[in-house]
Amino acid sequence: MKIVELPVGGGNAVLTGYLLDASQEFANITARPAVLVLPGGGYALCSDREAEPIAMAYLAQGFHAFVLRYTVGTGFDPFPSALAEAEQALETLRSHAADWRLDPERVAAVGFSVGGHLAA
């Protein structure tokens, strides 16, 4: 497995990708599906339990998995920033499809609580 980490947007959002290694046993798999995981947390935090554990479950099923820790906080409305970051994360996945051996036509998003709001 290879891990990539990229900043997203102009804030403090980070996209972490967990990429499965190529295997001679799966020589026919040239591009894998991918999933973007959007943790919940009420736009106040990104829940750890709804991030990497979910990504690992998708990884075990043959997906490349990506977790977006989007901009959160109190005292401002983080929704517009978080939505823009989620859109940019999806664009990043598609633009790196060849580098990361992922199928840009098979990218899903899964979110929990507020992350589900972003995914929708």
Q: What pLDDT tens digit does each residue of the chain (120 aa) get? A: 999 999 998 778 999 999 999 888 877 888 999 999 999 999 999 999 999 999 999 999 999 999 999 999 877 788 889 999 999 999 999 999 999 999 999 999 999 999 999 999
Q: What is the CATH number of the domain that holds 106?
A: 3.40.50.1820
Is 33 inside a domain boundary? yes
- pTM (predicted TM-score): 0.94
Q: For residue 19, what are the contacts with CB-CB under 8 A and spacing of at least 6?
A: 1, 2, 3, 4, 64, 100, 101
Is 21 inside a domain boundary? yes
